[in-house]
Amino acid sequence: MYIPISNILFSKYTNGEEFIFKSNLQPYVGFYFVDKSNNVYTGKTYTSDSVELLRRNPNTSINSNVVFNGVYASLNPKTLPSLNITPDFIKPTSTDYTNGFMTRFILKPTISSQVNDFIEVKSDKYTSVIQDSDAKVLYKSVSLVWKLTGPLYDVYRNNIRIMPGIIDSNKRSIAEAEKFIPNLSLYFTDLIQFNKSQESLKTQEIQTTQTTQTVQTTQIIQSVPTTQTIGGTQSSQGSGY
């Protein structure tokens, strides 16, 4: 169906919280336009690739009998699966630290009234969700690379980045992941979580060196012979012996 520009009221950009695809209920991120009939389509203007979108209602639960823009009326909410996915305790492995990064897996209920309703899971649970057609309707998913080692910030030479930093790299990963799950920065508030930065390693090396130097100096002092005068006769002996 062709929609002339004269019938388009306005076009805007959405980050995924406002609309879903009518065909598969997945969140839509990108430009959209509204026509005079108050219908919403993808794109700035109508093209052959434009598809219809539905407005989201964040207060509607996926298991509710409330009709969500009419879409669940056709799906019958009572037949939708009910999945209760719990978060996992995630901790980097020694291999992750050797590689310098780990992969983190995030799920978010498709219909949720909470902006920061994120669930971090292990890779096997994440894979089971994205491979399940029912679960894919209920959860949005994204994986991102989380840097663990290196300098805290990007290192530049002649305006060229020669070494990525932990904080800057993780910011970039979050920004890319937010194209699929908006507001992820609300979950990843600690950009140096699990890190072993070169700065902290350098501090440890300095402290270790200082301790070693102190021990060596003490040993040297203890091994230097001391001279005592006994009855007008000099006698040399090593301290501690």
DSSP structure string for 56-79: --TT--TT-SS-STTHHHHH-GGG
pTM of the model: 0.53
Burial label, 240 (beta-carbon count in 10 A; 0-12, 13-18, 19+): exposed
pLDDT at 172: 96
Q: How many domains does the chain have?
A: 2
Check residue 2 and give its pLDDT.
75
Report yes or no on 204 lying in a domain. no
28 part of a folded domain: yes
Task: State phi, psi for 55 to the nearest 5 degrees.
Answer: -75, 140
Q: Over the stretch 2-18, which tens digit does the pLDDT of each residue have?
A: 788 777 878 888 887 78
Do 37 and 108 lie in one domain? The reply is: no
Distance (Å, whole) CA 122 – CA 175: 21
Q: Does residue 239 fall inside a structural domain?
A: no
Residues 50 and 137 reside in one and the same domain: no
Contacts of 238 (CB under 8 A, 6+ apart): 223, 224, 225, 226
For residue 54, pLDDT over 70 is answered with yes
Q: Is residue 230 part of a domain?
A: no
Q: Is residue 165 part of a domain?
A: yes
Q: Are residues 25 and 99 in the same domain?
A: no
What pLDDT score was predicted for residue 15?
80
**What does the pLDDT look like over 202-227, one tens digit per residue?**
444 445 445 445 445 445 445 444 44
Same domain, 133 and 190: yes
Helix, strand, or coil (residue 176): helix
pLDDT of residue 208: 47
What letter does residue 79 receive in the DSSP assignment?
G
Same domain (yes/no): 171, 124: yes
Q: Is residue 209 part of a domain?
A: no
Q: Are 107 and 182 contained in the same domain? A: yes
Shared domain check, 102 and 36: no
Residue 82 lies in a domain: no
Question: 51 lies in a domain?
Answer: yes
The boundaries of the domain holding residue 37 are 5-56
Instruction: State whether 52 and 131 are in the same domain.
Output: no
Q: Are residues 141 and 191 in the same domain?
A: yes
**DSSP-derived pairing of the beta strands 149-150 and 196-197:** parallel
